[in-house]
Amino acid sequence: MSDGIPEVVDQETWAAQLAELRAREKAATRELDAIAAQRRKMPMVEMPDYTLVGADGPVRLADVFDGRSQLIVYNHMWSDGAEFQCGGCTGFTSQFTRLDFLDNYDARFVIVTGGPIDEALAYKRKVGNQMDWYSSADSPFGSDVDAAPGEGFAVNVFLRDGDTVYRTWHTSGRGTEQLSHSFALIDVLPWGRQEEWQDSPDGWPQRPTYSGWLDSPDVARLYGT
């Protein structure tokens, strides 16, 4: 145990400081509720009739919904022909192994990447990914939703009315953390993420940012075929 641990106090003092922290946590929860309400009231943008490619061949964007009304898309970074794709994208999407609960919300969550579909499906198997993958290699879809080839990852959300699809929300960078349970679990640990940028007690373990994350070969070794 490091000499830099926070002060050790009695139960009463600890409970009082927990109550002070809890007030901030509750305020943050209410703010997140207000943000979600604003998100639900956002205007929408009508999308063109894109054609993507799935495991069974070409598919219209409206049909990627698979009969549902709502769709979350993770736009996965891709480099054609690479042995391993983006470690952040690979690790992030490896979390999502049980998505059937979205059926009760008339929704679906899929991956769209700019890579060729055969490569994408082979990579899905290699790293043991459980999500449904689609390719936008022959479509401007990725560029039009702020996830152009070579420009990074994103999350986009859509609403379908018949054959008409609307874009309702987008985020990238650390905005995707709200979809992750891994960061939520790590952040409640005493040491947190142990990354250099974090405000931690002197002597608490810290290391370069990202160095604790699972990289693509790690995901393949743990979960892949």
pLDDT of residue 99: 97
What does the radius of gyration of the chain's CA atoms come to, in whole angstroms?
A: 21
Cβ distance 1 to 191 under 8 Å? no
pLDDT score of 4 more than 80: no
pLDDT of residue 3: 62
In a domain, 168, yes or no: yes
pLDDT score of 2 more than 90: no
Question: Looking at the 3D structure of the chain, how many domains does it have?
Answer: 1
Q: For residues 79 and 83, what is the distance between their CA atoms, to the nearest angstrom?
A: 9
pLDDT of residue 212: 94
The tens digit of pLDDT for each residue in 134-146 reads 999 999 999 999 9
Percent of the chain with pLDDT over 70: 98
The tens digit of pLDDT for each residue in 59-103 reads 999 999 999 999 999 999 999 999 999 999 999 999 999 999 999
pLDDT of residue 225: 84
pLDDT score of 7 more than 80: yes
Q: For residues 20 and 15, what is the distance between their CA atoms, to the nearest angstrom?
A: 9
Mean pLDDT in the chain? 96
CATH number at residue 56: 3.40.30.10
Mean pLDDT of 6-31: 96
In a domain, 6, yes or no: no
In a domain, 64, yes or no: yes
Q: For residues 135 and 205, what is the distance between their CA atoms, to the nearest angstrom?
A: 41
pLDDT of residue 187: 96
In a domain, 11, yes or no: no
Mean pLDDT of 141-170: 96
In a domain, 207, yes or no: no
Q: Tell me how far CA of residue 16 lies from CA of 11, 187, 189, in angstroms.
A: 9, 21, 20
pTM: predicted TM-score of the whole model, two decimal places? 0.94
In a domain, 69, yes or no: yes
In a domain, 36, yes or no: no
Q: For residues 66 and 56, what is the distance between their CA atoms, to the nearest angstrom?
A: 13
Reported as a pLDDT band with limits 50, 70 and 90, residue 6 is confident
Provide the domain limits for residue 156: 49-177
Nearest 5°: the CA angle 39, 44, 48 is 140
pLDDT score of 165 more than 70: yes
In a domain, 203, yes or no: no
Q: Where are the beta strands (DSSP E) in the chain?
A: 45-46, 51-54, 57-60, 70-76, 107-113, 133-135, 154-161, 164-171
Residue of 1 and 94 predicted with greater confidence: 94
